[in-house]
A and B are shown apart, each in its own frame.
Chain A
């Protein structure tokens, strides 16, 4: 079979003359090479893996042999390599350039993390081989737990949740279990309007009703607004701190007190912990449960949509309810408790979040990162993240519109709204697409929902001043252009990407979610 067929022609009729000039015979554009869908490329008889023949034997498959061809396509090794390398070249990444996706903390992913995670003694061990054969892995989990608890000043930890949202679920389950243990049937969770969608979705999943708390002008939640929403039915509040507008919740300590006074718990969404690691301990603020996103704060790669890892730290009051598995010290050594019957004093685990012990491969990466930084480096990283965001804020405040006014400092991310685009015919979406043409990944757009046309910019500590200066320079020119009424380039953006704006409405109206011979690519 031939090597991957390259490209296909651009449709001349639908292209402007500019694009026609830029057309090639193959449809490729130099380093941008068109790549077909796998199933239009290979066949079921090709394989890129060599196996020895199996001597005949009597099968034990209960007569359920899979006989019919089911269509999986194979490629030889060189074809496979090209297929995926070409596809990779159609992605932007943190290694490509600034990726200021607010709330997502796209910081540098050190390759030492990858190297350590791939040590045979970490990578090639099974979660159910005898614990006696993996003391180093259990110690690594214990060490990670120690770092996370010390950084937060919290008393216990559940390592196993698989991402931030799963950590939220774990924390809210611990809270519900604690209520149940007291015979309390409180059924309402307070969630600010500014919260990430996972917060209300999580609370609803564990059977709570959501009561929203309005954000103030500056995006924060105040004692007064919480008081307004508070009554005896409130089981918990879910508060993000720093919040989703990049602001530290000033009244957080009083809010925590208030919540505790009515016998409720304080869940803190720790997605933005990167702003305060080494600077503030959530335990000192009155937090009862908080998840980390190791794939944000502690630099484990996000891999185009995961894996994540979402350990949850717990206060003394919630500690007994931590799910299985959990670590216990026994003399010199540490052990993983995997079963409810395996009773340990003062614990009553609420259940199990996942099979096995969580995202161990992310534990190794996160610990590698933390050890590299050390306590001093983590503090410096938080300060740099906050400084970088404020530098953008100060540099862009005259050109774009800050959501919370000119004088308001921010933490690790800065929130703009679309007021500066008013009357220009350019939307937040258009503006973000023009940034793509300039070689940047856009910021988070249209989140949080509390401001119009939100643009949430999180540079992280990984950007150099030179990188920020270039970003600022371009943003200023784009903002000026939009205000001058030059909407065209925005509406047509992006122009230089492998694909231009995609029809999302059409995609949702008639979903094509898999290849089939009927929806074969038209060439």
Chain B
């Protein structure tokens, strides 16, 4: 087997050194009748060529975004162009095949990157401190709610109806099992929801999304103030991080915790993962944060270096009193994110954001002209919601049969039989003007 360096002679010599005749003597602690006497019922070893052949066939059965006639699917994961440099760099052995930087003297590469990553997240979100990543945006949101409960010593979270339905489900699940309370607002696009009147002295946090699931962009400054009056925290969730190249930072609106999905930069689609959760907060809350933190320090020669720090919050030290059970996070995706953002810089990020917005505006304008289609947003960044006659699901399926991937029917995520006529459509720099016009024409063709 190509991955196993030991030869039969090596094995014999090593068994002799160990002082046993057969390798099964090393499995002597396994109850005798539990050691398998035959192989699991699975295929035998295969050559690289053979594996590649089989799995390539599987891959070929999927309609990839790149092969489609137009791709407008978003709702929490976005198709952006990743510079070739990013994928090359993250495949450097020293980044790809290292573990969590437990030995800082031989992990300065990873740690240095994490320090820069944390700084980038602070700047993007307008916050004071950020951690070294969470699994993804949805789990980061659940962790933010738990943190707000620790900070406020209260149990209740109020979730906006504009929060991504699957994020809501993740928070709901975590609240249920950890003894928290929940108020969920009904999704209502283009109607201002009255979150403020829900906040009371039991409220740990209010969770809103920016831009929200339907694409709307709202100023949450007043909400932040109202939350603070009641000593509750405001958590702002961003699922499209590129938007922060165009719109005000959540920090500037008074957010106490900002969590985000960082997938848009560096990560690709990958059918849902691995992505990277971003987590940022105010300086005063650092000891309540979940996850790893990288800090700057000096070595015995006085040279600047980096270490993992404040680990007394974490499970390996604190065990059942830890702020979170997270251990492995999303190091490599954080690296990809950070490299992509380094290439962009502030100037490039702003340009990228503007192209996304311009393309979305073009599509919204074209769709708005179609009889029977309503563009429901009065504001948006690169994603918005339309109402179509009949079922959005059927429309999407019909277009997919023509290799056009038109967006996400809201009903797929809500799954409660409501909002069946709503379609969330995302547009990025990947969509050409021609594709945008073609999508509008195709939708018009289907509904008329």
- Please determine whether B44 and A376 come into contact, CB atoms closer than 8 angstroms: yes
Contact B73 A60 (CB under 8 A): no
On chain A, the residues within 8 Å of B296 by CB distance are: 507, 512-513, 519
- Counting CB contacts under 8 A, is A322 at the interface? no
Contact A303 B56 (CB under 8 A): no
The answer to whether residues A391 and B14 also contact, given A60-B380, A280-B30, A351-B173 and a CB cut-off of 8 A, is yes
CB-contact partner of A93 in B71, B90, B97, B178, under 8 A: B97
**Cβ contact of A122, chosen from B62, B75, B303, B408, cutoff 8 A:** B62
Contact, CB under 8 Å: A110 / B85: no
* Beta-carbon contact of B46 and A374 below 8 Å: yes
| Chain A positions within 8 Å of B135 at CB level | 162-163, 166, 306-307, 354
CB pair B274–A364 under 8 Å, yes or no, is no
Which of A66, A71, A132, A143 has the largest count of B CB atoms less than 10 A from its CB?
Answer: A66
Assuming A64-B247, A352-B169, is B109 touching A11 (CB within 8 A)? no
A112 contact set on B, CB distance < 8 A: 48, 51-52
Interface residue from A48, A126, A447 paired with B343 (Cβ < 8 Å):
A48
Are A201 and B272 closer than 8 Å at their CB atoms?
Answer: no
Give A322 to B167 CA distance when docked, in angstroms. 18
B63/A129 in contact, CB under 8 A: yes
Contact at A436–B344, with CB atoms within 8 Å?
A: no
For residue A227, which residues in chain B have a CB less than 8 angstroms away from its CB? none
* B61 and A305 contact, CB distance less than 8 A: no
Q: How far is B19's CA from A394's CA once the two chains are assembled, in angstroms? A: 8
The 4 closest A-B pairs by CB, nearest first: A74-B345, A303-B332, A339-B415, A305-B331
Query: Given A72-B120, A202-B325, A514-B119, is A77 in contact with B85 using a C-beta cutoff of 8 Å?
Result: yes
Q: Is the CB of B346 within 8 A of A44?
A: yes
In this assembly, does A130 line the interface, its C-beta being within 8 Å of a C-beta of chain B? Answer: yes
What residues of chain B lie closer than 8 Å to A117, measured between beta carbons?
A: 270
Produce 1/0 per residue, A188-201, CB < 8 A to B: 00000000111011
| B73 with A126: CB separation less than 8 A | yes
**Given known contacts A201-B325, A362-B274, A515-B119, A99 and B77 CB-to-CB distance under 8 angstroms:** no
A residues 329-388 with Cβ under 8 Å of B?
Answer: 338-342, 350-362, 364, 367-368, 370-381, 383-384, 386-388
Further 11 A-B residue pairs, CB within 8 A, beyond A14-B301, A394-B17: A88-B92, A91-B98, A91-B110, A143-B58, A173-B177, A248-B27, A356-B138, A356-B273, A465-B13, A497-B105, A514-B129
How far in angstroms is the closest Cβ of chain B from A493? Answer: 9
Smallest distance from the beta carbon of A284 to chain B beta carbons, Å?
Answer: 5
- Of the candidates B83, B97, B177, B295, the one whose C-beta lies within 8 Å of that of A513 is B295
- Chain A residues with CB under 8 Å of B172's CB are 351-352
In the complex, how many angstroms separate the beta carbon of A355 from the nearest chain B beta carbon? 4
Which residues of chain B from 108 to 143 have a CB within 8 Å of any chain A CB? 108-110, 112-116, 118-120, 122-124, 126, 128-130, 132-133, 135-139
- The distance in angstroms between the C-alpha atoms of A12 and B296, with both chains bound, is 22
What are 30 A-to-B residue pairs whose CB atoms are below 8 Å? Answer: A38-B342, A46-B347, A47-B351, A49-B83, A60-B364, A60-B378, A60-B379, A62-B217, A70-B124, A77-B85, A89-B94, A132-B397, A139-B61, A147-B42, A173-B177, A197-B314, A339-B414, A355-B136, A355-B167, A362-B273, A364-B55, A371-B55, A372-B46, A379-B39, A384-B11, A391-B17, A410-B26, A465-B14, A499-B108, A513-B293
**Distance between Cα atoms of A196 and B77 in the complex (Å):** 33
Instruction: Scan residues 115-162 of chain A and give those whose CB is less than 8 A from a CB of chain B.
Output: 115-130, 132-137, 139-140, 143, 147, 150-151, 162
User: Would you give the shortest CB distance from B251 to chain A, in whole angstroms?
Assistant: 9
Q: Decide if A164 is an interface residue (CB 8 Å cutoff).
A: yes
Residue of A353, A461, A502 with most partner-chain B CB within 10 A: A502
User: Is there a chain B Cβ closer than 8 Å to A506's Cβ?
Assistant: yes
Total residues of chain B contacting the partner, CB 8 A: 213
B295-353 at interface with A (beta carbon < 8 Å): 295-307, 309-312, 314-322, 324-335, 339, 341-352
Asked if B248 is at the interface of the complex by the 8 Å CB criterion, the answer is: yes
Would A48 and B328 count as touching, CB distance under 8 A?
no
Question: B10 interface residue, CB < 8 Å from A?
Answer: yes
With A44-B346, A96-B94 in contact, do A305 and B100 touch (Cβ < 8 Å)? yes
- Cβ of A21 within 8 Å of any chain B Cβ, yes or no, is no
Tell me if A229 counts as interface (CB < 8 A to partner B).
no
8 Å CB contacts to B: which residues of A258-313? 276, 278-281, 284-285, 293, 295, 301-309
B302 touches A11 (CB 8 A): yes
Q: How far is the CA of A519 from the CA of B54 in the complex (A)?
A: 54
CB distance from B76 to the nearest CB of A (A): 6
CB distance from A94 to the nearest CB of B (A): 4
Give the nearest-CB partner of A435 in chain B.
Answer: B103
Tell yes or no: A30 within 8 A of B by CB: no
Q: Does A462 contact B (CB under 8 A)?
A: yes
* Distance in angstroms between the alpha carbons of A508 and B377 in the assembled complex: 47
In the complex, the answer to whether A304 meets B269 with C-beta atoms within 8 Å is no
Q: Is the CB of A498 within 8 A of B108?
A: yes
Across the interface, which residues of A come within 8 angstroms of B244, CB to CB? 66
A122 to B59, CA, bound (A): 6
- B40 CB to nearest chain A CB (Å): 5
Pick the interface stretch among B1-9, B199-207, B226-234. B1-9
Interface residue count on the A side (C-beta < 8 Å): 217
Cβ 8 A contact of B109, one of A62, A90, A355, A504: A90
Q: Decide if B36 touches A279 in the complex (CB within 8 Å).
A: yes
Looking at the assembled complex, report how far the CB atom of A512 sits from the nearest CB atom of chain B, in whole angstroms: 4
With a 10 A CB-CB cut-off, give which of B11, B103, B358 has the most chain A CB atoms: B103
Cβ of A360 and Cβ of B273 under 8 Å apart? yes
Q: Which residue of B lies closest to A134 (CB)?
A: B62
Tell me whether A304 and B100 are in contact (CB under 8 A): yes
Q: With contacts A150-B40, A442-B103, A465-B14 known, is A390 near B5, CB below 8 A?
A: no
**In the complex, which residues of chain A have a beta carbon less than 8 angstroms from the beta carbon of B173?**
173, 323, 350-353
In the complex, what residues of A have CB within 8 A of residue B350's CB? 66
For B94, give its contact among A92, A134, A364, A395 (CB under 8 Å). A92
In the assembled complex, B376 has its CB within 8 A of some CB on chain A: no
Do A357 and B96 form a contact, CB below 8 Å, given A60-B380, A73-B345, A306-B331? no
Distance A511 CA – B129 CA, assembled complex (angstroms): 10
The chain A residue sitting closest to B429, CB to CB, is: A51
Asked whether B445 is an interface residue with its Cβ less than 8 Å from the other chain, the reply is no
- Which residues in window 376-432 of B have CB below 8 A to A? 377-381, 396-397, 400-401, 405, 408, 412-417, 429
- Which among A85, A108, A126, A200 is the interface contact of B92 at CB below 8 angstroms? A85
- Docked complex Cα distance between A443 and B352 (Å): 44
CB–CB A80/B347 < 8 A? no
Q: Which residues of A contact B377 (CB under 8 A)?
A: 60
B34 interfacial by beta-carbon distance below 8 Å: yes
List residues of chain A with CB within 8 A of the CB of B169. 324, 351-352
- The distance in angstroms between the C-alpha atoms of A91 and B99, with both chains bound, is 10
For window 426-445 of A, CB contacts with B under 8 Å fall at 432-433, 436, 441-442, 444
Q: Quick one: which of B44, B133, B218 contacts A62, CB cutoff 8 A? A: B218
Does A482 sit at the interface, judged by CB under 8 A?
no
Q: Are A115's CB and B217's CB within 8 A?
A: no
A227-B79 Cα distance, complex, nearest whole Å: 55
Q: A198 and B315: CB pair below 8 A?
A: yes
Q: Is B115 within 8 A of A381, CB to CB?
A: no
Asked if B185 is at the interface of the complex by the 8 Å CB criterion, the answer is no
Q: Is residue A203 within 8 Å, beta carbon to beta carbon, of the partner chain?
A: yes
Q: How far is the CA of A367 from the CA of B59 in the complex (A)?
A: 13
Q: Is the CB of B295 within 8 A of A511?
A: yes
Tell me the minimal C-beta distance from A508 to chain B in angstroms.
Answer: 5
Chain B residue contacts of A293, Cβ below 8 A: 328
Q: Is B107 an interface residue (CB 8 A)?
A: yes
CA distance A502 to B264 in the complex (A): 34
CA distance A409 to B106 in the complex (A): 31
- CA of A393 to CA of B26, assembled, Å: 12
Residue of chain A at shortest CB distance from B319:
A200
Is B188's CB within 8 Å of the partner chain A? no
Residues on the B chain within 8 Å of A201, using CB: 315, 318-320, 322, 324-325
Q: B351 contacts A57, CB within 8 Å?
A: no
Most chain-B Cβ atoms within 10 A of its Cβ — which of A139, A304, A467?
Answer: A304
